Amino acid sequence: MTRIAFIGGGNMARSLIGGLLKTGIPAAAITVSEPQAESRQSLAREFGVATYAENRLAAAEAEVIVLAVKPQIMPAIHAELRDTLQRNRPLLISIAAGVRLDQLERWFGALPIVRCMPNTPALIGAGATGLCANARVSPPQRAQAQHILDAAGLTRWVDDEALMDTVTGISGSGPAYFFALVEALEDAAVAQGMPRDTARALAAQTCLGAGRMLVESGEAPGELRRRVTSPHGTTQAALESFAANGLPAIVAHAVAAATRRGGELAAELDKT
Ligand SMILES: NC(=O)C1=CN([C@@H]2O[C@H](COP(=O)(O)OP(=O)(O)OC[C@H]3O[C@@H](n4cnc5c(N)ncnc54)[C@H](O)[C@@H]3O)[C@@H](O)[C@H]2O)C=CC1
Ligand SMILES: O=C(O)[C@@H]1CCC=N1
């Protein structure tokens, strides 16, 4: 039984723990450290995992440690964990946006480290995660990291670390883009007089249906789009409006902003 410790028991840790338990990993294999007493209680109640207020205690016996705190918290935790990590030499998995492998090595020591970027649909097993490893990660540890993230949905290795901020810009932050589009569709329908609950239900189910068709058919999004678009019909009118208002550029700018922000988060930590 591989012992896994989570440092930080917030939204993403919960999503990943939920996924791991569903794959049959016993709750006894998981420890979590979390400063908020209320969160510790709900983690213990919902998942049956051991919780600790102190990071060192949660990490003490672990072979794999998942760093699931905000990037800005990293400097606060490395001082208290460094000795434990140097002694036990676990596999370290960071899910923090922006934080680079070289920064993690500088703070936590020369350990096998996997940097990854999951997303919140991990909570329902429909996550998408990009992973990147440093040279110290052995093939079995690579498989171990993948196994943990596979529990949350789809995984893809990204060998060029420079692309990890792009992963954040596409899939890490991505669920919010689709939620924003559904909000906009809902508001547009309400503005035309539709009751909000009907508008929301229709927009959300359309998002689900389009997503499932994309994933389950394996066909290119352009081909699926063409099949909806009758010549001179309603979809063509809407898509021409998207194009006239620069949708591809709007999306490219948004992804660039998220990607850039990942780099900035890391640069801010270089100053600490
Ligand atoms: N929310 C998302 O969609 C995604 C978040 N991430 C990354 O996951 C990490 C966590 O994000 P969330 O779970 O959304 O944040 P969150 O705020 O829900 O969870 C962070 C947890 O860390 C705890 N914490 C604070 N200080 C601590 C300390 N000194 N020691 C241990 N725990 C401490 C907080 O009490 C909180 O429960 C971030 O680095 C973020 O970049 C990655 C992918 C997606
Ligand atoms: O917004 C953020 O910084 C985090 C990382 C990806 C999703 N949420």
- Please give, one letter per residue, the 3-state secondary structure of 40-57: HHHHHHHHCCEEECCHHH
Whether pLDDT at 155 is above 90: yes
Which range, of 64-68, 77-81, 136-140, 219-223, averages the lowest pLDDT? 77-81
Indicate whether residue 11 lines ligand 1 (CB < 6 A). yes
CATH topology for 174-262 is ProC C-terminal domain-like fold (1.10.3730)
- Check: CB of residue 73 under 8 Å from CB of residue 9: no
- Check: CB of residue 78 under 8 Å from CB of residue 107: yes
Which range, of 120-124, 158-162, 163-167, 262-266, averages the lowest pLDDT? 120-124
**Which amino acid residue places its CA nearest to atom 44 of ligand 1?**
119
Indicate whether residue 171 lines ligand 2 (CB < 6 A). no
pLDDT of residue 79: 86
Q: What is the DSSP letter of 90?
A: P
Indicate whether residue 68 lines ligand 1 (CB < 6 A). yes
User: Which residues of the chain are in CATH 3.40.50.720 domains?
Assistant: 4-165
Indicate whether residue 9 lines ligand 1 (CB < 6 A). yes
In tens, the pLDDT along 101-127 reads 999 999 999 999 999 999 999 988 999
Measured CA to CA, the distance from residue 8 to residue 5 in angstroms comes to 9
User: Which residues of the chain are in CATH 1.10.3730.10 domains?
Assistant: 174-262
pTM of the model: 0.94
Count the neighbouring beta carbons within 10 Å of the beta carbon of residue 57. Answer: 15
Indicate whether residue 34 lines ligand 1 (CB < 6 A). yes
Whether pLDDT at 1 is above 90: no
Measured CA to CA, the distance from residue 61 to residue 127 in angstroms comes to 28
Atom number of ligand 2 nearest to Cα 172: 6
Whether pLDDT at 12 is above 90: yes
ipTM over 0.90: yes
Whether pLDDT at 257 is above 90: yes
Coil vs helix vs strand at 119: coil
Measured CA to CA, the distance from residue 228 to residue 270 in angstroms comes to 49
Ligand 2 centroid to residue 226 C-alpha, Å = 32
Measured CA to CA, the distance from residue 179 to residue 185 in angstroms comes to 10
Q: Residue 75 — pLDDT band, cuts 50, 70, 90?
A: confident
Whether pLDDT at 178 is above 90: yes
Token readout for 226 is 């063409």
In tens, the pLDDT along 83-105 reads 899 899 999 999 999 999 999 99
Q: 197-228 burial, b for 16+ CB within 10 Å, e for fewer?
A: eebbeebeeeeeeeeeeeeeeeeeeeeeeeee
Which residues, in sequence order, are CB contacts of 41 under 8 Å at separation 6+?
51
Displacement of CA 256 from its chain's centroid (Å): 18
CATH class of this structure's domain 4-165: alpha beta
Ligand 2 centroid to residue 248 C-alpha, Å = 22
Q: Nearest-CA neighbor of 29 among 52, 3, 50, 47? A: 3
Type of residue numbered 54: E
pLDDT of residue 232: 97
Q: Residue 272 — pLDDT band, cuts 50, 70, 90?
A: confident
**Which amino acid residue places its CA nearest to atom 31 of ligand 1?**
8
Ligand 1 centroid to residue 93 C-alpha, Å = 13
Token readout for 58 is 């949660």
Ligand nearest to the CA of 95: 1
